[in-house]
Structure 1
Amino acid sequence: MSDNYKFFCHKGCEFFPCHKTEDPENFNCLFCYCPLYALGESCGGNFRYTDKGIKDCSNCMLPHKKSNFDYIMSKFQDIVKITSKNSKE
């Protein structure tokens, strides 16, 4: 089985690339909106918090690299736990 499902590059998107990159040919758009955002400091990406406390991921390439697909998938149980907790409150 191939790993083609781990990569999608949408060069026709008006926002492509949404982050600065030296390698647009290998820019992965599969996780256009990062599913790890909700994990806050536990996401594993290169982020910072603004003065207003907003998570700024503009310098993060974690979801845009094909090699990080397995890492992102490994974090889905953490996302499920967060959403389960929030739905009970």
Structure 2
Amino acid sequence: MSEFYKFFSHKQCEYFPCHKTDDPDNFNCLFCFCPLYLKGAECGGNFRYTEKGVKDCSQCMFPHERKNYTKMMEKLRQK
């Protein structure tokens, strides 16, 4: 079974990569807007809250790492 659906890299995007990375060939754009954002502190990523209470995910690479597709899907299934 093909697993191409687990990874997409849009290197022509004007924002690519949207996070600093040492491995742009494995930067996954599939979750361009992280669906775990709304899980707040339960997302499992590397985030912080700003002084105004806004969740800042600019240092988080979790959804963009090729190896994390399955973990992302598991997190999305959690209630």
TM-score normalized by the length of structure 1: 0.84
Percent identical among aligned pairs is 66
Q: Deviations over 1:45-85 (max 9, x none)?
A: 0000000000000000001011110111112233xx5xxxx
Query: Number of paired residues?
Result: 79
Query: Which residue number corresponds to residue 67 of structure 1?
Result: 67
Q: Deviations over 1:16-67 (max 9, x none)?
A: 0000000111100000000000000000000000000000000000010111
Q: Please, which runs of 5 or more residues in structure 1 have no aligned partner? A: 82-89
Query: Which residue number corresponds to residue 86 of structure 1?
Result: none
Q: Deviations over 1:2-24 (max 9, x none)?
A: 22110000000000000000011
CA RMSD of aligned residues (A): 0.9
- Greater helix share, structure number: 1
Q: Please, which runs of 5 or more residues in structure 2 have no aligned partner? A: none
Query: Which residue number corresponds to residue 30 of structure 1?
Result: 30
